[in-house]
Chains A and B, each alone.
Chain A
Amino acid sequence: MDMSTPMGRGPKLKLVMVGNGMAGVRTLEELLKLAPELYDITVFGAEPHPNYNRILLSPVLAGEQTVDDIILNPLDWYADNGITLHMGKKIVKIDRVKRLVIADDGTEAAYDRLLIATGSNPFILPVPGKDLPGVISFRDIADVDAMIRAASTYRHAVVIGGGLLGLEAANGLMKRGMGVSVVHIAPWLMERQLDEPAARLLQKSLEEKGMKFLLQKQTAELVAGADGRVASIRFKDGSEVPADLVVMAVGIRPNSELAESAGIHCNRGIVVTDTLQTVTDPRIYSIGECAAHRGVAYGLVAPLFEQAKVCANHLAHYGIARYEGSVTSTKLKVTGIDLFSAGDFMGGEGTESILYSDPLGGVYKKLVIKDNKLVGGVMYGDTVDGAWYFSLLRDGKDITELRDHLMFGQDHCGNLGHQGINKAAAMTDDMEVCGCNGVCKGDIVKAIREKGLFTLEDVRKHTKASSSCGSCTGLVEQILAVTAGGDYSAAPKKKSVCGCTDHTHEEVRAAIRERKFLSIPQVMQAMEWRTPNGCASCRPALNYYLISTWPGEAEDDPQSRFINERAHANIQKDGTYSVIPRMWGGQTTPAELKRIAIVAEKYNIPTVKVTGGQRIDLLGVKKEDLPKVWADLDMPSGHAYGKALRTVKTCVGSEWCRFGTQDSTQMGIELEKVFFKMWAPHKVKLAVSGCPRNCAEVAIKDVGVIGVDSGWEIYIGGNGGIKTEVAQFLIKVKTAEEVLEYSGAFLQLYREEARYLDRTVHYLERVGLDYVKKKILDDPEGRRALYERLLFALSVEKDPWVERAKEGKHQHEFETVVA
């Protein structure tokens, strides 16, 4: 087969898409981003509408939104992108030999590539009366119109199917004023997403809204009335209820009829590969609810959009992306009902469950755990932590250490972010969602509506909400669910360093070590970076990995350092810098204080402030003045800006304090002098207290040391920032030398293994305390080797302030040109 193609010259390739729904059109959008000129695109849609958000049919039915609100791509979009759109034409035949498709009205279109995105069909129960007037399904705008019309004339609606779709239909019809009964064959509602207790709570609150339920009922027949329209529904047990509108919502079937008729292999959907090509014909792709990938036909937005990306990538001839399947979660879109479920929520052999049940308060939560990992969960009434649980589940994280607090959510696991609000729906538009970036609910809703956002990533990019500390992620996801109706969960994937590469941090580090790369261009070339020289995310990471792996050998590239580490001072919002002279262990002398005072006056430094780390901050220094300021101070600056050793905070200790048991100040000075100039994946803060009263607050430091009568206790992985985390006890040692060796070994382990921009707490969370103990406590040789490697790395680092203030290094950095 001739798969060679003209690229950017000659006639364009022809791409035909059958189906005009969300997954297919998203593929076109992704494709246009990658290769706008590659194809002439033709789209056939059976419905007389442009692409709309099918998930939001429920709110349209409920009268909360209109059809216009849910249009995703107006006709202009097709025209602007040169796409030929045939609406209301159903493709009835694919001629794979002549490579063309034929519509029911005779329209033909030839293709070089064909994308089948025909979605799914509702499953219709094969019972007598299924074709009567008044019997419909809930799938498209026409169905919704029929339901809205029926609601204005008729009174008794019966929805067959108590799953997600059925309940949303029932809720909508009820809001339209109809009396609604839901018939369900299983013993409880939504049995594929809920366990029985959660389903009972759901049923109770829906009953309070006026919905009726007929559980464990099997439909035998739909009975016509005198006018020929459906009038009642009869069950296998002989009972009968009146019904002048019957909505069948018992499930969907992949719509693979067309593909099957063209001889394309189907098995519960059109069977596709990891590049979304059909296994039968590589010119033909399939995506969305009609496609079966590794035996699964997905019906949720997030996995389908993930597929769209991969499919577009392949259509654009990039061919580097693979779709490897997704884990999904569910939310019910019935206003006022909060429900979340994911994974194996029923549990079973080999699993254990943690339960929280408050029937009166209407809250129920169940978490299913297997082998110390969260494998499933169901929540009713309070779902704000759903996203957090889902990410634990997806990442397969070991939850041993979280277990005691797991049920109470992320806020109880040390996240100080901001608390108090956990119901997005109850918020007004002017209420703040993201405290870090000052983003209100209204901003997010507006961006979702106007820009057509679907995923958390989209919202982060456009609004910056949830992009900093992440504590509002749950809220943002709720807003997304309410506004876009999307299930917002991203498909699982390994986390690449950035968009310039598919390699993970670990892969890059391993390659640098094993292949002895010594410069950034070397890494980028060997590992096939997609961009010529990376971006502001990967370059600083690569630079750190290189210099920490090959100290003294790898080039330290100043242009790949953030400005603070390039200029060796801390940039402020007005573009001036701050200088924080190092005060070892927080101790200073009258001579140093005098010099600081003289410098502050001489260079008109506007603000002099005592920092939280027991030092003095000179704020508002002009960049040109930096080398002179450093020279006059004649003190090393404090790395107060860098991903490096910051401060070693100390209390006064046994030299003066009547309670002190150890000389904590001296210990702090020693630690700071030994670890000075240490670059790290992120900032590193230490503290030493002279007794367990702990005045130096060591519990929130990366390494904290507490003096006790018989020696020193070492704690690791504390954090006082966005995520307050209490440090964990590592070991008790006797001597100051041991404090240095154990602390240094831990810091070196962190330097060698943590991802760039992970604090020690994140690193510890990932590898676990036991692992660190094994490396540091159980392996004395390994510990000493780690410490030696740290000392070696430090021995080749020069004092950057001496170099710049006295040796004239990088003068261009500090000089401006006058024109």
Chain B
Amino acid sequence: MNQWIDILDVNDIPRLGARVVRHESLAIAVFRNAEDEIFALEDRCPHKGGPLSQGIVHGRKVTCPLHGWNIELEGGCAVAPDVGCAREFPIRIEDGRVWLDLAAVTREAA
């Protein structure tokens, strides 16, 4: 079962930036790139848990602010040679609003 909830406006996220969305104890980084594509990843770098939302966004990647790992925004996996993935969450865009599937969030957390 999906549980889509409206979380924020696309324009609330700076281009080449991110916003943090909290659900209970989980922090989700919602990214927007130069082409206005939106991605949602758990706000934890697979390396040492750095907050990816605070990194620099370029192309379809984000560079972690702590040690400079590059993470693919689509899929959440580190760019080789680094290895590891951040959890990715399903989102969809409707009329400029970003919707998040809360069911997927809680399901995976469980």
Contacts and interface: CB of A to CB of B under 8 A. Distances in A.
Interface in A522-542: 531-536, 539-540
Contact of B34 (A532, A558, A571, A819): A532
A23 to B, nearest CB: 23
Of the candidates B35, B57, B58, B65, the one having the most CB atoms from chain A within 10 angstroms of its own CB is B58
A567 interface: yes
B59 A819 contact: no
Contact of B22 (A539, A566, A575, A819): A819
Contacts of B8: 817
Interface in B1-28: 5, 7-8, 12-17, 19-23, 27-28
Nearest to A521: B34
| Range of interface residues on B (Cβ < 8 Å) | 35 or more
Interface string B26-46: 011010011100000000000
A534 B22 CA distance: 29
Given A461-B81, A558-B14, A533 B59 contact: yes
A462 interface: yes
B107 interface: no
Nearest to B63: A536
Contacts of B54: 563, 566-567, 571, 575
Contacts of A604: none
B65 A559 contact: no
B12 A575 contact: no
A451 interface: yes
A816 B25 CA distance: 13
Nearest to B60: A532
B93 interface: no
Contacts of A818: 21-23
A539 B56 contact: yes
B102 interface: yes
Contacts of A531: 58-59
Interface in A543-582: 558-560, 562-563, 566-567, 571, 573-575
Contacts of B48: 573
A86 to B, nearest CB: 31
A732 B99 CA distance: 65
Contact of B12 (A563, A571, A812): A812
B66 A571 contact: yes
B90 interface: no
Contacts of B12: 812, 817
B5 A559 contact: no
Nearest to A500: B58
A575 B35 CA distance: 28
A564 to B, nearest CB: 8
Contact of B16 (A559, A573, A575, A816): A559
A451 B22 CA distance: 39
Given A559-B57, A812-B13, A819-B21, 12 more contacts: A451-B81, A461-B81, A532-B34, A535-B58, A563-B55, A566-B54, A571-B66, A573-B66, A574-B49, A812-B12, A812-B14, A819-B7
Interface of A: 451, 461-462, 531-536, 539-540, 558-560, 562-563, 566-567, 571, 573-575, 812, 815-819
Interface of B: 5, 7-8, 12-17, 19-23, 27-28, 30, 33-35, 48-51, 54-59, 61, 63, 65-66, 68, 70, 81, 100, 102, 105
